[in-house]
Amino acid sequence: MNNLIVKNASQVVTCSGFAGKRGKEMSDLQVIENGTVVVTGGVISHVLKEGESIPINPSHYKVISAEGKALLPGFVDPHTHFVFGGYREEEFAWRMRGDSYMDIMNRGGGIVNTTRATRAASEDELFAVGKQRLDAMMQLGITTVEGKSGYGLDKETELKQLRVMRRLNEEHPVDIVSTFMGAHATPAEWKDREDEFIDFNINEVMPVVKQEKLAECADIFCEKNVFTTGQSRRYLTAARKHGFKLKIHADEIVSFGGAELAAELGCLSADHLLQASDEGIRAMAQEGVVATLLPLTAFSLREEFARARTMIQNNCMVALATDFNPGSSFSASVPLLFALACIYMKMSPEEAVTAFTINSAAAVGRADKIGSIDVGKQGDLVLLKFPSYKFLPYHVGMNIVDTVIKNGKEYSEE
């Protein structure tokens, strides 16, 4: 039935809106004190102020008393690589000893290391680990997650990863937005033939992904010693012709013109951006490209954090994501994400909440359906154990999620 009333929440943090928010707009969460939210048939049907009531028959609804608890939109994680085989704990230890992420990648570790394990894994094995990871994310309040292929780097395995995500989307309550990332790295069999590998992706893999409706977005790792801006332009332009929404891993390790390219192509989002130039930031704001920042990655790689303040001052739409993956950020820790965003990237709690709800919904092209508590949106909600959203960064590293509601159905912490 999926009819539910969340009654008298100390705060209903609506994040109200149907599009991503820019600059100063990110500070306004449109909070209703002591509010009530009604979900009917899985969809938000009423958002009520204190004392407001409506003529519904409560016997048709499950009622949750939310006194002393803040209610938010379900979190949207707009950048992850959560379907993969194997782990890379040795590489983490090497990095702690001083090796860089790129050194390890250039000597045959990194993404291609995970590619070996992902090629070797069966579809059922990937499904099983994917499911466990989604369960963990959901306990942290994530109700929609973007997931990328890119650990196949051959046709068969890229399709396998995407099919696993399709099955997970059908069978798991968390919604999945799938992204084709055939150009994540160049595998050994294409070494020094990057241009041909891009052609292979464009001509052999992309059309099948499109035909089988296996992904909504396409993404590429635009970075020194990975794929050039020229190769990225070619790949993304072809993806656009196929009707994919465009994403790009941009300016992560060096300033490389990725943000500028994202603006030129009108990408939905540009992600990482640790080294994005002033020019690139202005261009993204101008063209409405969502700047998706990944503080858990900067933290795990011991890199400087992205310049969130400069981006917000320049009127960008800033989103946050975990980047959950086996290499640069083996974490989907929402609590740590909020803490790093506020403590190190100097975002306000309000900006961070906007960035992980309505703006992250915009980063996956779904701001009209999720990411806020507005009538007509999916009944995806998170109830906190504390009375204010301000506890999210403040209770550093602690999971303060009390109840997750997905399409009006309640999932309580055991």
Binding residues vs ligand NIG (CB under 6 A): 81, 110-111, 114, 221, 249, 252, 297, 323, 325-328
Q: With contacts defined by CB under 5 A, how many residues of the chain interact with Fe ion?
A: 1
Q: What CA–CA distance (Å, rounded) separates 350 from 29?
A: 6
Select from Fe ion, ligand NIG, none the partner in contact with residue 147, using the beta carbon and a kind-dependent cut-off of 5 to 8 Å.
none
Q: What CA–CA distance (Å, rounded) separates 315 from 289?
A: 11
Stretch that binds Fe ion, among 43-51, 118-126, 207-215, 316-324 (CB under 5 A): 316-324
Main-chain dihedrals φ then ψ at residue 115, nearest 5 degrees: -60, -40
Q: What CA–CA distance (Å, rounded) separates 79 from 321?
A: 5
Nearer to ligand NIG, 91 or 380 (CB): 91
Stretch that binds Fe ion, among 3-11, 126-134, 317-325, 405-413 (CB under 5 A): 317-325
253-268 burial, b at 16+ Cβ within 10 Å, e below that, comes to bebbbbbbbbbebebb
State how far the alpha carbon of 362 is from the alpha carbons of 2, 22, 321, 331, 366, in Å: 25, 11, 12, 22, 6
Nearer to ligand NIG, 179 or 297 (CB): 297
Stretch that binds Fe ion, among 23-31, 59-67, 323-331, 370-378 (CB under 5 A): 323-331
State how far the alpha carbon of 303 is from the alpha carbons of 98, 184, 222, 292, in Å: 12, 20, 18, 16
CB atoms within 10 A of CB 96: 9
List, in sequence order, every residue forming a beta bridge with 291; answer none if it has no partner: 270, 318
Do 293 and 306 contact (CB within 8 A), yes or no?
Answer: yes
User: By beta-carbon distance, which residue lies closest to ligand NIG?
Assistant: 327
Report the interhelical angle of 258-265 vs 278-287 (nearest 10°).
20
Select from ligand NIG, Fe ion, none the partner in contact with residue 221, using the beta carbon and a kind-dependent cut-off of 5 to 8 Å.
ligand NIG
Select from Fe ion, ligand NIG, none the partner in contact with residue 280, using the beta carbon and a kind-dependent cut-off of 5 to 8 Å.
none
User: Residue 67 CB, nearest distance to ligand NIG (Å)?
Assistant: 41
Nearer to ligand NIG, 81 or 163 (CB): 81
Q: What CA–CA distance (Å, rounded) separates 28 from 26?
A: 6
Nearer to Fe ion, 77 or 323 (CB): 323
Select from ligand NIG, Fe ion, none the partner in contact with residue 22, using the beta carbon and a kind-dependent cut-off of 5 to 8 Å.
none
User: By beta-carbon distance, which residue lies closest to Fe ion?
Assistant: 323
Stretch that binds Fe ion, among 103-111, 155-163, 299-307, 318-326 (CB under 5 A): 318-326
User: Residue 225 CB, nearest distance to ligand NIG (Å)?
Assistant: 12
Stretch that binds Fe ion, among 91-99, 104-112, 172-180, 315-323 (CB under 5 A): 315-323
User: Residue 104 CB, nearest distance to Fe ion (Å)?
Assistant: 16
Tokens standing for residue 24: 């100063």
Select from Fe ion, ligand NIG, none the partner in contact with residue 351, using the beta carbon and a kind-dependent cut-off of 5 to 8 Å.
none
User: Residue 325 CB, nearest distance to Fe ion (Å)?
Assistant: 6
Angle at 110 between CA 109 and CA 116, to 5 degrees: 75
Nearer to Fe ion, 179 or 403 (CB): 179
User: Residue 71 CB, nearest distance to Fe ion (Å)?
Assistant: 30
- Give one DSSP letter per residue of 328-395, joined into a string: S-----HHHHHHHHHHTS---HHHHHHHTTHHHHHHTT-TTTSSS--TTSB--EEEESSSSTTHHHHS
Q: Which residues bind Fe ion (CB under 5 A)?
A: 323
